[in-house]
Amino acid sequence: MSSPPATPRVVVIGGGITGLTVAYTLLEARPDLDLHLLEADDQVGGKVRTGPFAGHPVDAGPDAFLARVPEGIDLCRQLGLDADMVAPASRSAYLYSRAALRPFPEGLVLGVPTDLEALARSGVMSPDGVARAAQDLTMGPDQPGQADESVGALVRRRLGDEVYDVLVGPLLSGVNAGDADHLSVAAGAPQFAAALEHHGSLIAGARAQRQASLASDAPVFFGLTGGIQTLTDTLAQRVAAAGGHLHTATAAEAITPGTDTSYVVASSHGPLEADVVIATTPLFVTGPLVAPFAPEAAHEMGALEYASAVMVGLAVARDDIDHPLDASGFLVAGREGLVLTACSWASSKWAHLADPDVAILRASAGRHHDRRALEMSDPDLVDALLTDLATTMGVRGRPQEVRVTRWERALPQFRPGHLQRVDNWRQEFGERAPGLFATGAGFEGLGLPACIRQAQATAKLALDLPLLRPSAIPPT
C-alpha cells in the first residue's frame, strides 16, 4: 500500500447534504486537496430527491428549508441559486382534529398557543383543554438548572395533555416522525427552553418569540423552483468542478489505521489512504466505522433510534376533491388513529406547481413505533391513504398518478441528554483519533440548515489541522 501523497487527501463518507457541503467547504478553502467522497447509493443527495411528477419537478423528500436561519439561504446564494428560491404561496394550514379539518389557530409557535382566544375559537381543542393551557401563565417559572427533559414532559406539565396531543405532538412529529414524549427539548425544541428561561412561561415566551418574528417580513420557509435536489446537484457539480472525486455506488466498509497518522478507508471499490476522514452517514452506519478509534461514541451512536416514513405523491383531479385547497395542507393529530400523518397540498403551497385541473398532493405516513404504513405493500398503502384522504378532505375516485417513496430509518430520534452525549463523542474523537470526524443529522438536528451548519463547522475543524490549514497550501 502506498503512502499518502504530498497533497493532503481527505475522504468524506456519505453524499447527502452534509457530506456534499463538507466537501464543497473544504475545496473552497483548499482547492489543492485530493478529496474523495464515497456514496453507497447510485446518486448523491441522500434524502433529498426531486423527480418529474404530474408534469412538474416534485420533491419526494424535503420540499423546503427554514428561511429564518441563515445557513440554507446563504449557501443557495453562494451557489448562485438566488433566483430559484421561492416562498410558499400560502402560509395557512389545517389540522385534522376531533373528526374535522380545522384551521390552525392563529399564533402557534411549534404548537404552543400564544392567543388563547383564537385557540378557543378554532375548535381544535375542548374548552377544558384551553383552560388547562392558560394555567401556564400563572404557574411561575421552573426551577433553575433543570436537566434536559422530553418535550412531552415539559408541554404536558406546563400546558396539559390536550395541547400536546392536538398541537405540539403533530407538529413535531411532522418534522421527525417521532414521539415527542421522548424528544429532547435541548435538541428538538430549544425554543421551549429559551421561552421558559427568559419569560417563566411557555405561552409568554412563545408570544415574545412570535412578536420578534413578525417584526420581519421574511418568509418562514423557502423552496426551490426546480425542487430541493437543485441544491444538492449544484453542490455535486461544484465539488466535481473543483477537482473533487465523487464515487457513487461505493460504500465505506471499514476505517483502519494507516501509516503514521493516516487512515485507510476500505470500500466496495478498494482502499483509500487519507490524512483526514469525515463520516457524514446515519449513525447506525457511522458507529461501526469509527468503533476501532472511538468505541464509547460508536456504541452510543449505534444505539440511537431512527424512525421511518413514507412519502406518497398523488395527482388527483381537482373535481374529485370536496375540500377547497386554500392552504398549504394539513396535519393529523395522532389520537385520530389514521395511517395518514400529514398531507401537503403541493400545487397550492407552491406557485410553480399550480395546475388548474390537477392537484398534486404529498401524503405522509409513518410515525416512530407505528409501522403500519411501512409494512403495507404499495397498493395497500395507497388504498389506506385514499381512505384517510376521503375522510379528511373528501378525495373521491382514483389518482391519475402515484409515486411511493419509502424512507427507512431516515429520521434520528433525539432523547433527553442527546447534546451532552454529542459533546462527549466529539471529545473522544479529539483525544483518540485526530483527523477523524463524524457529523450529520444524528448529531445536532434535522433539516437542511442544521445539516449545512454542522457540515460547515466540521469542515472548519478539519481546516484547523496543521496539514489542512489554508496557509499550508504549497506555492505554485
pLDDT band at 476 (very low <50, low <70, confident <90, very high): low
pLDDT, one tens digit per residue, over 264-286 is 999 988 999 999 999 999 999 99
Q: Which long-range contacts (CB under 8 A, 24 or more apart) does 352-359 make?
A: 352/56, 352/86, 352/225, 353/56, 353/58, 354/89, 355/54, 355/55, 355/56, 356/318, 357/317, 357/318, 358/54, 358/315, 358/316, 358/317, 358/318, 358/400, 359/315, 359/316, 359/317, 359/318, 359/321, 359/325
Do 100 and 200 reside in the same domain of the chain? yes
Question: How many residues would you count in the chain?
Answer: 476
Q: Please, are residues 248 and 43 in contact by the beta-carbon 8 Å criterion?
A: yes
Determine, yes or no, domain membership for 52: no
Neighbours of 444 (CB within 10 A): 17
* pLDDT over 50 (residue 4): no
Do 277 and 383 reside in the same domain of the chain? no
Cell of 158: 406546563
> What mean pLDDT is predicted for residues 118-130?
93
- Map grid coordinates 466540521 to a residue: 458
E strand or H helix at 233: helix 229-241
- 256 or 141: which leads in pLDDT: 256
pLDDT, one tens digit per residue, over 297-324 is 999 999 999 999 999 999 999 999 999 9
Do 295 and 423 reside in the same domain of the chain? yes
Phi, then psi, of 308 in degrees rounded to 5: -115, 155
From 194, 214, 234, give the residue that closes a domain. Answer: 214
Cell of 437: 470526524
What is the C-alpha to C-alpha distance for residues 208 and 295, in angstroms, rounded to an integer? 44
* pLDDT over 70 (residue 2): no
Determine, yes or no, domain membership for 73: no
pLDDT, one tens digit per residue, over 224-251 is 999 999 999 999 999 999 999 999 999 9
CA angle 25, 63, 301 (to 5 degrees): 60
Q: Please, are residues 410 and 308 in contact by the beta-carbon 8 Å criterion?
A: yes
pLDDT, one tens digit per residue, over 374-389 is 999 999 999 999 999 9
pLDDT, one tens digit per residue, over 8-32 is 999 999 999 999 999 999 999 999 9
What is the C-alpha to C-alpha distance for residues 331 and 167, in angstroms, rounded to an integer? 9
pLDDT, one tens digit per residue, over 353-370 is 999 999 999 999 987 777
From 379, 412, 445, give the residue that closes a domain. Answer: 412
pLDDT band at 470 (very low <50, low <70, confident <90, very high): confident
446 closest CA partner among 237, 178, 236? 178
Do 376 and 429 reside in the same domain of the chain? no
Pairing state of beta strands 270-274 and 263-267?
A: antiparallel
pLDDT band at 97 (very low <50, low <70, confident <90, very high): confident
Q: Please, are residues 78 and 98 in contact by the beta-carbon 8 Å criterion?
A: no
Do 313 and 296 reside in the same domain of the chain? no
Do 289 and 421 reside in the same domain of the chain? yes
Can you spell out the DSSP letters for 64-76?
Answer: -EESSSHHHHHHH
At 388 the pLDDT is 98
Q: Please, are residues 436 and 429 in contact by the beta-carbon 8 Å criterion?
A: yes
> What mean pLDDT is predicted for residues 250-254?
98
At 215 the pLDDT is 65
* pLDDT over 70 (residue 127): yes
What is the C-alpha to C-alpha distance for residues 180 and 367, in angstroms, rounded to an integer? 11
SS3 325: coil
Do 313 and 405 reside in the same domain of the chain? yes
Determine, yes or no, domain membership for 183: yes
Determine, yes or no, domain membership for 131: yes
Do 169 and 281 reside in the same domain of the chain? no
Q: Please, are residues 93 and 122 in contact by the beta-carbon 8 Å criterion?
A: no
Determine, yes or no, domain membership for 81: no
Of all residues in the chain, the percent with pLDDT exceeding 70 is: 97
Determine, yes or no, domain membership for 182: yes
Do 438 and 408 reside in the same domain of the chain? no
> How many CA atoms does the CB half-sphere of 293 hold within 13 Å?
29
At 179 the pLDDT is 83
Amino acid in the structure at residue 251: A
pLDDT, one tens digit per residue, over 393-405 is 999 989 999 999 9
Do 354 and 420 reside in the same domain of the chain? no
Phi, then psi, of 184 in degrees rounded to 5: -60, 130
Domain of 36, in residue numbers: 9-46+226-304+415-472
Determine, yes or no, domain membership for 60: no
Calculate Rg over the CA atoms of the chain. Answer: 23
Report the DSSP beta bridge partners of residue 245: 36
Of all residues in the chain, the percent with pLDDT exceeding 90 is: 78
* pLDDT over 90 (residue 260): no
Number of domains in the chain: 3
* pLDDT over 70 (residue 35): yes
Structure letter (DSSP) for residue 102:
E
Amino acid in the structure at residue 105: P
Q: Please, are residues 287 and 305 in contact by the beta-carbon 8 Å criterion?
A: no
Neighbours of 14 (CB within 10 A): 27
* Cα separation values, 201 from 113, 128, 149, 194, Å: 12, 19, 16, 10
- CATH, residue 255: 3.50.50.60
Query: How far out from the chain centre does Cα 321 lie?
Result: 30
pLDDT, one tens digit per residue, over 146-198 is 789 999 999 999 999 999 998 998 888 777 777 888 999 999 899 999 999 89
Do 209 and 103 reside in the same domain of the chain? yes
- CATH, residue 358: 3.90.660.20
From 149, 182, 214, give the residue that closes a domain. Answer: 214
CA dihedral 269, 273, 278, 283 (to 10 degrees): 50
What is the C-alpha to C-alpha distance for residues 33 and 35, in angstroms, rounded to an integer? 6
What is the C-alpha to C-alpha distance for residues 221 and 91, in angstroms, rounded to an integer? 9
* pLDDT over 70 (residue 5): no
At 46 the pLDDT is 96
Determine, yes or no, domain membership for 62: no
What is the C-alpha to C-alpha distance for residues 37 and 248, in angstroms, rounded to an integer? 8
Q: What would you measure as the largest C-alpha separation in the chain, in angstroms? A: 74
Mean of all residue pLDDT scores within the chain: 93
pLDDT band at 472 (very low <50, low <70, confident <90, very high): low
* pLDDT over 80 (residue 3): no
Do 166 and 256 reside in the same domain of the chain? no
